[in-house]
Amino acid sequence: MLSRLMSGSSRNLEREYSCTVRLLDDSEYTCTIQRDAKGQYLFDLLCHHLNLLEKDYFGIRFVDPDKQRHWLEFTKSVVKQLRSQPPFTMCFRVKFYPADPAALREEITRYLVFLQIKRDLYHGRLLCKTSDAALLAAYILQAEIGDYDPGKHPEGYSSKFQFFPKHSEKLERKIAEIHKTELSGQTPATSELNFLRKAQTLETYGVDPHPCKDVSGNAAFLAFTPFGFVVLQGNKRVHFIKWNEVTKLKFEGKTFYLYVSQKEEKKIVLTYFAPTPEACKHLWKCGIENQAFYKLEKSSQVRTVSSSNLFFKGSRFRYSGRVAKEVMESSAKIKREPPEIHRAGMVPSRSCPSITHGPRLSSVPRTRRRAVHISIMEGLESLRDSAHSTPVRSTSHSDTFLPHVRSGRADSSERVAVIADEAYSPADSVLPTPVAEHSLELMLLSRQINGAPCSIEEEKESEASTPTTAEVEALGGELKALCPGHNGPEAEQVNKFVLSVLRLLLVTVGLLFVLLLLLIILTESDLDIAFFRDIRQTPEFEQFHYQYFYPLRRWFACKIRSVMSLLIDT
C-alpha cells in the first residue's frame, strides 16, 4: 500500500513542471504547472499575479532549443510547445501594441506598456531624433526618480542611467536640462502617460522587427504595427501597407509572401527571405495574428489560415484571442478601484539597464571585441549589442496624436520615408535565428569590422587595443573566405521551380495509383452497371482476375485466417 502511494506521488511529481516568467520590470514569477496545462492557464496565472484585466495586449515569449523565438499559443500545451528540459524560462512582453496607449483604461496597463517601450528604446527598436530622445529619457527619469533635487542629484547625474545603446555628453546635458526645468511636479503616472503619448507618434512605434532579405539579397527588417505592415531598409521605410490593403500572407520554406491590393485595383506581391524556415513560419504567424487583431471587427470573423498551395496541405494556423475593437469595448466596462502599482524604482535591471548605474558608452567605434556568451535561458532579449549609435533622426509626426498619425501614415503608404540618419539596426535581441555556436564569432567579427559597438562590458575591455587598418582588412578577408555569400534570388527561384515540378509529378503518380485501385475494386465488386459489365467480359480482365487478383485474394484470406486462429489459441 505504501509503495503504491509513493509511486503515485512520484508520478504526480513527474507531471508537474516549474515555470519561470521574467516580467517587464525584470522581476520573476515562478509557478508549477501540470504536464497537460494549456498556455491560457499559465497566462491567466500571470495576469492574476499582476492584477491585470486588459491582458489581450500581452503575451508570453520563449526561445526553443533551436534558438528560434516564439509566442506561446494559449490553446496548446505549454510543455509540448517549449520542447526543452524543465525548468522552463519565458518572458512576459507586449504582443499587440495599443494604437493609442494613452487611451488605455487602467494605469497598471499603461505602466506595463511604458516598461515595454522603454525596453524598445534601449534596444534600438524605437528610433527617434535627438530632441525626442532627450524628452523621452527625461520622462523616464521623472517617472523613476521624481523631481530634480540638487542634494540628491549631483552634476552629471543623468550619465549614470543608460537609456539608449549609446549616447553623448551633449544629449545627457539635454536630458538633465529638461528634467530640471520642464517636468517638475509630474507624478510617475503623468510622466509615463506623456512618455506614451510621445512614443506613439514615432514611425517605429510598435515595431517588433524580423530580419530578412529582399529579392536582391539586401538586408531588411519586416514588422507589423497597429497601423499596418512596414519594411525598414537602411535608413528608410521602403514599404508601409495598411491592414485593409493586405489580402493574403503566405510562406514556403524560407520565403515569405505578402499579397497587397491597393486602390485602382493595383495588386502587388512582396517577397522576402527569412534566415530559416522556422523564422519564416514565426514571421507568418505573427502577421496572421496582427492582421486579425487590428483589422477584424469581431473575433467571430477569425478564420483558420493555411499556407498551402494547390497540392499540399501546408501549415494551418488560427488566431484564438479577441480583436482590438472587442478589447477596447471590454475595457470601457471595467469598474473597479485602481490596483496598487509597485514600480521598479532603482532596482538594478539585467536586460534593460536604463536604471542601472554604469559608464557612458564611448562614441568611438571599436573593431576588436571578444565573443559574447549567449544564454538561451536568458532569452535573446538579454543581448545588449547595437549596430548603430542611437538616438537617431526619425520622421515623427510632430507632437500630434492618433488621428493625425493615421492620416499621415495613410497618405504616405506608397512613398519611401526616411526614418533615420543611420541604418535601422536594432539590438541582437532580434538577430536571425537560430544562431549557431560556431557562427557567433563570425557574426561578431563582421560587426566589429563595420565599427559597430558590442556590449558595455566589452567596450571597457577593448579600450586599450585598436587594430590597424591592415589588421581590419585581413580580418575582413578571413570573414569573407569563411562566410560564402548568399546564393541569390535566382538560385532560390530555380530551386523552388524544381521542387514544384517534383511535387506535381508525385501528386500525379499518386492520383493515378489511387484511381487504378478504385477501378479494380469496383470491377471486382457485384455492381451490375453496363460499364463494369463490359469490362468484366474482356479477355484481359478475365486473365487478370484468374491469374493475379484471385490468387492474391486467396493468399490474403489464408493469412488472415491463420492470424485469427493464432489469436484465438493464445
| pLDDT band of 59, cuts 50, 70, 90 | very high
pLDDT band, residue 532 (cuts 50/70/90)? confident
Cell of 315: 501549415
Give me the architecture of the 208-332 domain, per CATH: Roll (2.30)
Q: For residue 287, how many C-alpha atoms fall within 13 Å in the half-sphere facing its CB?
A: 28
449's grid cell: 569590422
- Dihedral of CA 122/127/130/135: which sign? negative
Range of weakest confidence among 54-68, 222-236, 287-301, 442-456: 442-456
How many residues are there in the chain?
Answer: 570
pLDDT at 350 over 80: no
pLDDT band at 490 (very low <50, low <70, confident <90, very high): low
Q: Same topology for domains 101-126+128-200 and 208-332, yes or no?
A: no
Residue 278, C-alpha cell as written in the block: 522556422
Predicted pLDDT at 38: 94
The tens digit of pLDDT for each residue in 207-231 reads 999 999 999 999 999 999 999 999 9
- Would residue 423 be called left, alpha or beta, if left means φ above 0 and alpha means ψ between -120 and 50 degrees? beta
Coil, helix or strand for 486? coil
Question: Per the structure block, which three cell numbers stand in for 538?
Answer: 474482356
Bigger pLDDT: 263 vs 44: 44
- For 361, the grid coordinates are 558608452
Domain 16-94: give its CATH architecture. Answer: Roll (3.10)
Residue-wise DSSP of 290-323: HHHHHH-S-GGG---EE---SS----EE---S--
Beta bridge partners of 224: 229
Reported as a single tens digit per residue, the pLDDT across 425-461 is 675 444 333 333 333 343 333 334 333 333 323 333 3
202 and 135 Cβ atoms separated by less than 8 Å: no
**Top-level class of domain 101-126+128-200:** mainly alpha
Cβ 200 vs Cβ 102: under 8 Å: yes
Q: What are the extents of the domains in the chain? A: 16-94, 101-126+128-200, 208-332, 505-569
| Of the candidates 343, 342, 339, the residue with the CA atom closest to the CA atom of residue 144 | 343
pLDDT beyond 60 at 9: no
- Least confident among 13-17, 32-36, 104-108, 250-254: 13-17
- What value does the mean pLDDT of the chain take? 76
Helices 469-482 and 440-449 cross at an angle (nearest 10°) of 140
User: Does the pLDDT at position 367 exceed 90?
Assistant: no
